[in-house]
Amino acid sequence: MRAHLIRRVLQSGLVLLVVGFVAFSMFRFVGDPVDNMLGPERTQADIARLRTDLGLDRPIPVQYARYLAQAVQGNLGVSYRLGRPVADILAERAPATLELAAVSGLLALVGGVALGVLTAIRRGGIATGVLMTLSLVGVSLPTFLIGIGLIYVFAICLGWLPSFGRGDTVQIGGWTTGLLTASGRRALILPALTLGLYQMTLIMRLVRSQMLEVLSHDHIRFARARGLPEWRVLFRHALQNALVPVITVAGLQLGSIIAFAIVTETVFQWPGLGLMFINAIRFVDIPVMAAYLMLISAMFVAINLLVDLLYLFIDPRLRPAQQRSGG
């Protein structure tokens, strides 16, 4: 088991090195950094001096090592478009995205598990049929159309909720939060729904199929035969077993929540990392793109590792055999 963990950590490290190399190559080979940093009025001497300053005259592996070392220390270069250090921009934008992703993830998990259990118990009911059909449509529906639809209904027709921005925010240390003000919370509702809905349908379908499978097992029949109350059978004996694969899927979905936050942030003009990334692509702002890539990869790799650990924690069958006997 320890060998497995060590292998996973090494693998993660390798992924990060590869991603770092991709980011470095973008930085180094897409467009000429010297060209991008010096204005049109420059002399050959300026160019040569900047090349030496940036280390562009050194061998490629040395440049790569230097790039990684600087990235780890938080020096991610300067945005071509905004002329500010990329690290500052990231730090300023990250809270908005993390708050959005956390709230949507929570929504997807709670809503998905609740609806999944409901549709598994009420098999063949009308509500189940409606929910299953809706979830099928929901899977085909592109995120941005969900967002536009919600804006149309709740912001334009009903006028209940704001259609763009973060509302009022409060600064706590280096973190700006919208969760502490009423307008911030209202502004969060539609984006969080948009982002969480797709994951919610996925989790709901998974929980349902897992529940249906577990409910047909003998230990459930035995629990019922012992006269345990139904809620206890459902939640203690069935749901707990059904949730094991859900954890993996939910964990991996956290990654796609962060990726699709790009879409949601654009629809709602949410001032987070995703909107920054889209603008970086549109204006070919390579340092910002490279930095976003590295930040996101670090997050994804960390999430994958955590999911693996959590799996061990939740499923006793995967733990070393000596702890339990007879299972």
Extract long-range pairs of 305-311: CB within 8 Å, 24+ residues apart: 305/8, 305/9, 305/12, 306/251, 307/247, 307/248, 307/251, 307/252, 308/5, 308/8, 309/5, 310/247, 310/251, 311/244, 311/247, 311/248
Q: What is the distance in angstroms between the CA of the first residue and the CA of the last residue of the chain?
A: 18
- Cβ 79 vs Cβ 290: under 8 Å: no
Contact flag: residue 248 with other proteins (CB under 8 A)? no
Q: Does 26 bind other proteins (CB under 8 A)?
A: yes
Q: Does 100 bind other proteins (CB under 8 A)?
A: no
43 lies in the site for other proteins, by CB under 8 A: no
**143 is an interface residue for other proteins by CB under 8 A:** yes
Q: Are 81 and 249 in contact (CB under 8 A)?
A: no
Three-class secondary structure of residue 78 per DSSP? strand
Residues 6+ apart with CB under 8 A from 143: 194, 195, 198, 260, 263, 264, 267
Q: How far is the CB of 237 from other proteins (least distance, A)?
A: 26
Cβ at position 222, least distance to other proteins in Å: 29
Smaller CB separation from other proteins, 129 or 316: 129
Amino acid found at 169: T
Q: Which one-letter DSSP state was computed for residue 85?
A: B
Which of 180, 281 has the CB closer to other proteins? Answer: 281
Of 44-52, 70-78, 231-239, 254-262: span binding other proteins (CB under 8 A): 254-262
Q: Is 108 in the site for other proteins (CB under 8 A)?
A: no
Query: Rounded to the nearest whole angstrom, what is the least distance from the CB of residue 135 to other proteins in the complex?
Result: 12
Q: Measured on CA atoms in the order 7, 10, 15, 18, is the torsion positive or negative?
A: negative
Q: Which of 65, 284, 306, 318 binds other proteins (CB under 8 A)?
A: 284
CB of 150 to other proteins, least distance (A): 12
Residue 139 in the binding site for other proteins (CB under 8 A): yes
- The helix-helix angle for 286-314 and 273-282 (nearest 10°) equals 140
Asked if 158 interacts with other proteins (CB under 8 A), we say no
CB 105 within 8 A of CB 252: no
Nearer to other proteins, 29 or 235 (CB): 29
Using CB under 8 A as the criterion, which residues of the chain lie in contact with other proteins when the complex forms?
A: 11, 15, 18-19, 26, 30-31, 137, 139-145, 148, 151-152, 156, 163, 255-256, 259-260, 262-263, 266, 277-278, 280-282, 284, 286, 289, 293, 296-297, 300-301, 304
